[in-house]
A and B are shown apart, each in its own frame.
Chain A
Amino acid sequence: MPAISAITGWGQSSLSRRPGPSVAELARDACIAAVEHAGMAWSEIDGLILGQSDILDRSALTLAFRHSLDLGELNLLCVTEGKGTTVLQAIHHASLAVSAGMARTVLCVFSDTPIRDEKQAGDTFARPSKIMNLPDWENRYGCFGAIGAYALAASAYRGLYGFGEDAYSPYVITCRKWAALNPEAFLRDEIDTTAYFASPAVVEPLRLLDCAYPVNGAAAFVITGTDRAKASAGSPVFVHGIGQGHNERSALSALVKGGRTGAQTATNGALAGAGLDISSIDCLQVYDAFSFSGVFALEDFGFLPAGGAVEFIRAGETAPGGSLPMNTGGGHLSSYYLQGATPLIEALRQASGAAGARQVPKHDTVFITNSGGCLEFHATLVVSPHRSLS
């Protein structure tokens, strides 16, 4: 089937663990890098989508940002926010706009600064968890941070299938194996089970090594029509499937009450658009804010039967040389956490054959996920270096 759109350029700002440039300055650097990578003139860009990070003030990146770039009249300009799905939602909207002829070429940017003065990144995310829908209920029990809801879900998953304390260590160790091959990753030292268990517990069952590694930075993407991609200077990557799924169940509620999240629906939408069966996906890049989310994604998005992910990972199937290479840059845990931009950047590198020492041999179809809330909001993308999948 023909592609929906083409991603002809992508780029990043500096990525840092220290406070530095503002959200808008980082966004501008990423936009310039992406447009340069696409080999396009600024006059060709007629759409701009700004991704709003859930942890930033609404004033951090506004429509006025357009004035910091060399843009002419635009046919599309907006801010989009979908918690952890913001980046893929922006790609969805841009792809639909260019395929419908509303815009010719859309620049999408996501920028975030979780590392602030005198604050550790964990504190930025340390707001009361929202689980019960009862005002201030979580405050009474000290249930704070995204990690609160994820630790509960990680515990429920272990309890449901009878996994022990080593349920998540194979995933964490595998991420480091990939990161060791990625010069851009922040945490590249390989670790073993002993090192995992030496990592301090933050909110049991999650240890420090089970958590994402947030950075300040930005990523930008140039999306254009498939016809225009011919003139592109680089190696375009084609978008073949887009999907979303949001139902009333989060991972936590699905694990404790039964039922499923909207992840499978998001998978089905993207695969149907691409005309693919899930078994034909060569490489997988998921949003893993915590080790548990990476493990559970394999089941929730339909790649493995329920309860099957831990053994699959332990057997090395997601590691270098495995049957389903996953989070091949080290993912959010070992490379860097730039919300949903991390898996997309890595997917584009793999699909275009630019992943260096970690390049997977087969990269005709790469599947990307974004998740938000406590795995409550889901978005997916299928990309390929090929214009047509048949």
Chain B
Amino acid sequence: MTGTAPSPSQKFLNFIAEGRLCLAYDAANGAVVDIVDLDGSSERALTWKPALGTGTVAAAAVYRRRYVESHDPPYNVAIIRLAEGPMLLSTVEGIEGAPVVGTKVQAAFAKDGTLVFRPD
């Protein structure tokens, strides 16, 4: 890796900034790499492919009190199990109350560029 090459996690974020959800695969064995483990892998050993964008809610929390200026409660935060296997923290739009674990969802990009999920 050269000094100027972005780290795998930065590359993931660069794709997101372009409005694309992409996943990394180990070039040697074809296995999908967990997003949380991206920087545990060598950049040269990875290939990137667009994600299917489908997934399932694995965990969800609803903030009922204000923690930060940028987010007005109530809002939800969810862990999505992507169809390919990796987990991703995001939010589920278009529902009342807490997203139910097991709900099928589809990735979308909100107007402000944030990756969100909506019931499929």
Contacts and interface: CB of A to CB of B under 8 A. Distances in A.
A160 B102 CA distance: 9
Contacts of A201: 62, 64
B83 to A, nearest CB: 14
A22 interface: no
Interface string A145-162: 100100111011011100
Contacts, number: 109
B51 interface: no
Contact of B64 (A133, A140, A158, A200): A200
Contacts of B39: 133
Interface stretch (B21-29, B42-50, B84-92): B84-92
A98 to B, nearest CB: 38
Nearest to B112: A140
B1 interface: no
A143 B9 contact: no
A5 B23 CA distance: 51
Q: Chain A contact residues (Cβ within 8 angstroms of B): what range?
A: 35 or more
Nearest to A153: B59
B61 A205 contact: yes
Contacts of B108: none
A290 to B, nearest CB: 12
Contacts of A133: 9, 35-39
Nearest to B113: A140
A255 B59 contact: yes
A138 interface: yes
Interface in B71-117: 71, 75, 77-79, 81, 87-91, 98, 100-102, 114
Interface string A269-284: 0000000000000000
Given A133-B9, A204-B61, A155 B98 contact: yes
A206 B88 CA distance: 21
Given A126-B67, A141-B77, A156-B79, A132 B89 contact: yes
Contact of A152 (B13, B36, B38, B59): B59
B58 interface: yes
B5 interface: no
Contact of B12 (A126, A134, A256): A134
A133 B61 CA distance: 19
A55 interface: no
A288 to B, nearest CB: 18
A225 to B, nearest CB: 42
Contacts of A151: 61
B60 interface: yes
Nearest to A150: B61
Contacts of B101: 155-156, 158-160
B94 to A, nearest CB: 15
A140 B114 contact: yes
A141 B91 contact: yes
Contacts of B2: none
Nearest to A206: B61
B9 A142 contact: no
Interface of B: 9-10, 12-13, 34-39, 58-65, 67-68, 70-71, 75, 77-79, 81, 87-91, 98, 100-102, 114
Top 6 A-B pairs ranked by shortest CB distance? A159-B101, A142-B71, A151-B61, A144-B67, A156-B59, A204-B62
29 contacts: A126-B67, A126-B68, A131-B89, A134-B35, A138-B89, A139-B70, A141-B75, A141-B89, A142-B71, A142-B75, A143-B89, A148-B63, A148-B77, A152-B59, A152-B61, A152-B78, A155-B61, A156-B59, A156-B79, A156-B101, A159-B59, A202-B64, A203-B62, A204-B98, A205-B98, A248-B37, A252-B79, A256-B58, A256-B87
